[in-house]
Structure 1
Amino acid sequence: MATILVVEDDKHTRLLTCARLKPYYTVTEAENGEEALKLLDQMHIDLIIADIQMPVMNGYDMVKEMRESGIQIPVIMLTAMHTFDDKRTGFASGTDDYMIKPIDYEELLWRIKALLRRANIVSQRKIIIGDITLDSAAYTVRKEGTITELAKKEFDLLFKLLSYPGMIFTKSQLLDEIWGYDTNSDETTIKTHINRLRNKFADCTEFEIITIRGLGYKAEIYEK
């Protein structure tokens, strides 16, 4: 079970947030950024949820110090501030996600799940969906002992889509990110590779690549 650190100086908000998370995660808490940094030296933390305006050390400074020290634990900022400059400052400090108070705790749980999943993908260079494992070190897709080898661009395309399930990517985005900005390929190339992937995984029930007409493509994951 993942361990989440809640950093919040308001006791009521801190206790409420911890209570909402405890059915799903191991939860620990801190009252300010300085206390949180000390805890990071003492125990393993998978994700941090932090307020911005706190005494002793605020959320911005906490995240900045983490990133400068090479600590890449995902951080979600919870704050009452909502101007563009506030968000820009938060992301510039190294924050991964940003939610405005009052918190919708159901949405917070979705965001936590997504960030933990992405952090796991980055660290292991693998995506695991049910019985399927995408291994970026070997450019293979394994299911129940059966290995499907993909061309590099096919694998990169599938890995990109499955890393962000439900997110729509335009054809130009996929061309730029996978083929490069200076590629001579066009959007027909994307369509060709999508069709190849669909053919190779036609019997797959764990995921589906969906065409969003006029926009691009997205992957949907079907958890059993």
Structure 2
Amino acid sequence: MGAVLVIDDDPHIRELVVALLDRAGYPTATAADGRLALRVLGETQVDLCIVDAMMPNLDGVEFCRAARRYHPDLPLLMLTAKGQLGDKARGFDAGADDYLVKPFEGAELVMRAKALLRRYRKVVESTARVGRLVLDNDSHVATLDGQPVDLPLKEFALLFLLAAHPGRTLTRDFILDEVWGFDFEGNTRTLDVHINRLRDRFGDANGFRIVTVRGLGYRLEEG
């Protein structure tokens, strides 16, 4: 899982957005202007950019144009203090996928970021391989040593999410949001039940195991 790159010349906005994303379980990187952000893109795996429209050196619109030219599959969410239709049009013409006007609600920013990441993952991440298991997210088919394994839909989605981020601890809130939806109001023990079912189904002899990280969430480890 790559970072969410937060690009804003206002350090207070950067700190706020980073705190919101950290709380939601997303790793982050930051840059104070578009020029520095392009350098970060060349050095760091980035899954999403949240970029301010008005910045020195290279503003958000020009950054979006440059990022879209070299990273066509990178989701871009633009932040701006301007709400005029013309300003939005410039952002979308430059390649932005979504647009949020300051001041914004923290929950809305996180929801929009999650929606963009889901949309792009559907295109980019269609297959996950871990140990002897292959998961095809387009057909929702799991195969072990080439033989199909019958998995309920939620178990498949949970295992695919873990397998798409091998070696990375995913928080409970992040997993619940991704698999059950951000508006899930059920018992959080539901996640533990599904994890235990996957452990019972696959054991430790298939080239991977699901590790509990106490107080945080779960991690899938290969080997």
> Is contact 1:46–1:73 with CA below 8 Å preserved after alignment?
yes
Q: Distance in 2 between matches of 1:89 and 1:119?
A: 22
The equivalent residue for 2:18 is 18
1:50-97 deviation per Cα after TM superposition (whole angstroms, max 9, x unaligned): 100000000000010111224421111010111111111111110011
| Residue segments in structure 1 that go unaligned for 5+ positions in a row | 128-132, 148-205, 208-219
Percent identity between matched residues is 34
* SS at structure 2 position matched to 1:54: coil
Residues 141/11 of structure 1: CA separation in 2 closer, same or farther (3 Å cut):
closer
Aligned partners of 1:70, 1:49: CA distance in 2, in Å? 15
Give the letter for the 2:6 counterpart: V
2:113 is matched with 112
Which residue type is aligned with residue 102 of structure 2? K
Q: For residue 20 of structure 1, report the CA deviation from its aligned partner.
A: 1.8
Measure, in 2, the Cα distance between the counterparts of 1:72 and 1:142.
25
CA–CA distance in structure 2, aligned partners of residues 66 and 7 of structure 1 = 12
Task: Name the larger-Rg structure.
Answer: 1
Q: Name the CA shift for 1:70/1:49 in 2 (closer, same or farther; >3 Å).
A: closer
Q: Distance in 1 between matches of 2:14 and 2:71?
A: 26
Aligned pairs (5 A) from 1:35-184: 35-125=36-126, 135-136=137-138, 140-142=139-141, 145-146=149-150
Q: CA deviation at 1:2?
A: 4.3
The 2-side partners of 1:81 and 1:95 are apart by 15
Equivalent pairs counted in the alignment come to: 146
CA distance in 2, matches of 1:111, 1:75: 11
Q: Which residue of 2 aligns with 1:6?
A: 6
Paired amino acid for 1:146: D
Change (3 A) 1:65 1:146: same
Give secondary structure in 1 for the equivalent of 2:67: helix
For 1:69 and 1:93, the matched residues in 2 are separated by: 13
Cα separation, 1, equivalents of 2:106 and 2:137: 33
Separation (CA, whole Å) in 1 of partners of 2:42 and 2:100: 26
Normalising by structure 1, we get a TM-score of: 0.58
Matched residue type, 2:113:
I
Tell me by how many angstroms 1:119 deviates.
1.1
Contact preservation (8 Å) 1:51, 1:79: yes
Letter paired with 1:145: V
Measured after TM superposition, the shift of residue 109 of structure 1 is 0.9
